[in-house]
Chains A and B, each alone.
Chain A
């Protein structure tokens, strides 16, 4: 055992740091955990002679480094649909925080994203298509219920009565349509990226919300603004996706490839 290891081990710092390293994604941990621990031990041995303040400052530095790098590593380890869904969850939560009027859309988006995450996590298993879909549906629906309950009892108290069975069914139907049609649809129209499919999904949700406003369910000035912006972003996303396919097929451009390694 080296001096650094002994110092870190005696203070228990290495055990604490080992615990913190476990927060990183598996693949990253498997590759770098040993080296990270080695670095920690060496740095710890350097600061341990300088007194308690230096040690606390080093721990703060390590914790700040962890907080700053953890989300990025998890995001990098995620497959694309989960990444997009996480982004949508983030937007949904932000909408909740910004304005209660947008809560219906936020809940809808959250449910869609939650279900997509469930689907992404379940798909690689050996469950088979139908059980996987049912499980994703059940989890997505539970997510919708949980969000509703949170919105009802925590955010708005007893004033929130906007969601009903139709909302739940619309979430389920739209998600199943997208999940079933995604692959054949993408094969037929390669310009449709996961982002544009999700945008289209959001658009369906907003149209449903709009129908609810028209039928007098809610006053939705905020909803209309969000609807317009989502319609615009979806259109831009679809048009640029299609243009990119046409452009690439003519082989006019070569996209920089970060993953290409030198010969």
Chain B
């Protein structure tokens, strides 16, 4: 079994695509199914990032393969559950990558503020 040390340095995978970044950000709140991720991303970005089912599941597939997210086995209570849904959660590596990307973006925002492109917070 491979150890966590064999994982790539998150810095080498930056910058992330908007879809991947927003999905990771949505899953940072906790486990979610596909539709909840889609709604969360749309709401968080004020509708500027609208993912269709193809974009969402294409990204989820690549993120699962890259070890950024995991499929969760926890299911809601039977009355609220739908067997056609799968739940996803952030992996430890995914969280590290999300932090690295957020830090990169934060540096960019600080630079923009310093150069008076953005007004101070």
Chains A and B are bound partners: yes
Which residues of A come within 8 Å of B, CB atoms?
2, 24, 28, 31-32, 34-40, 42-43, 61-62, 64-66, 68-70, 72-73, 76, 256-263
State whether A34 and B84 are in contact (beta carbons under 8 Å apart), knowing that A39-B38, A65-B52 are contacts in the complex.
Answer: yes
A-chain residues with CB within 8 Å of residue B7 when the two chains form the complex: 257, 260, 262
- Is B12 among interface residues, defined by CB-CB distance under 8 A? yes
A37 to B57, CA, bound (A): 11
The residue from A42, A68, A76, A261 contacting B54, defined by CB atoms under 8 A apart: A68
State whether A257 and B61 are in contact (beta carbons under 8 Å apart), knowing that A35-B85, A65-B53, A65-B54 are contacts in the complex.
Answer: no
The residue from A2, A34, A42, A72 contacting B58, defined by CB atoms under 8 A apart: A72
Contacting A at CB under 8 A, from B1-58, are 1-4, 6-9, 12-13, 33-35, 38, 50-58
Chain A interface helix/strand/loop/mixed: helix
A-chain residues with CB within 8 Å of residue B50 when the two chains form the complex: 61
B11 to chain A, nearest CB (A): 10
> Could you tell me if B55 and A65 are in contact, using CB atoms closer than 8 angstroms?
yes
Given contacts A35-B53, A35-B57, A35-B85, 12 further A-B contacts (CB under 8 A): A31-B61, A32-B60, A35-B84, A43-B35, A69-B58, A70-B54, A76-B62, A257-B8, A260-B2, A260-B8, A262-B4, A262-B7
A32 to B64, CA, bound (A): 13
A32 to B54, CA, bound (A): 9
What are 16 A-B pairs at a CB distance below 8 A? A28-B58, A32-B61, A35-B57, A36-B34, A36-B54, A36-B57, A37-B84, A39-B38, A43-B38, A65-B52, A256-B8, A257-B8, A258-B8, A259-B65, A260-B2, A260-B6
B-chain residues with CB within 8 Å of residue A2 when the two chains form the complex: 82
A40 to B54, CA, bound (A): 10
B-chain residues with CB within 8 Å of residue A66 when the two chains form the complex: 52, 54
A64 to B52, CA, bound (A): 9
A-chain residues with CB within 8 Å of residue B8 when the two chains form the complex: 256-258, 260
> Could you tell me if B57 and A256 are in contact, using CB atoms closer than 8 angstroms?
no
The residue from B9, B61, B67 contacting A261, defined by CB atoms under 8 A apart: B67
Q: Would you list the 5 A-B pairs with minimal beta carbon distance, nearest first?
A: A65-B52, A256-B8, A69-B54, A261-B67, A36-B53
A80 to B65, CA, bound (A): 18
B-chain residues with CB within 8 Å of residue A38 when the two chains form the complex: 34-35, 82, 84-85
> Could you tell me if B61 and A69 are in contact, using CB atoms closer than 8 angstroms?
no
B48 to chain A, nearest CB (A): 14
> Could you tell me if A263 and B2 are in contact, using CB atoms closer than 8 angstroms?
yes
A73 to B60, CA, bound (A): 12
> Could you tell me if A39 and B56 are in contact, using CB atoms closer than 8 angstroms?
yes
B81 to chain A, nearest CB (A): 12
A-chain residues with CB within 8 Å of residue B38 when the two chains form the complex: 39, 43
A36 (CB) vs chain B CBs: closest residue: B53
A-chain residues with CB within 8 Å of residue B33 when the two chains form the complex: 35
B-chain residues with CB within 8 Å of residue A64 when the two chains form the complex: 52
State whether A69 and B55 are in contact (beta carbons under 8 Å apart), knowing that A38-B34, A257-B8 are contacts in the complex.
Answer: yes
> Could you tell me if B57 and A32 are in contact, using CB atoms closer than 8 angstroms?
yes
B85 to chain A, nearest CB (A): 6
A2 to B3, CA, bound (A): 44
A35 (CB) vs chain B CBs: closest residue: B34
A68 to B17, CA, bound (A): 15
A218 to chain B, nearest CB (A): 44
> Could you tell me if A263 and B61 are in contact, using CB atoms closer than 8 angstroms?
no
A32 to B84, CA, bound (A): 10
A-chain residues with CB within 8 Å of residue B34 when the two chains form the complex: 35-36, 38-39
B54 (CB) vs chain A CBs: closest residue: A69
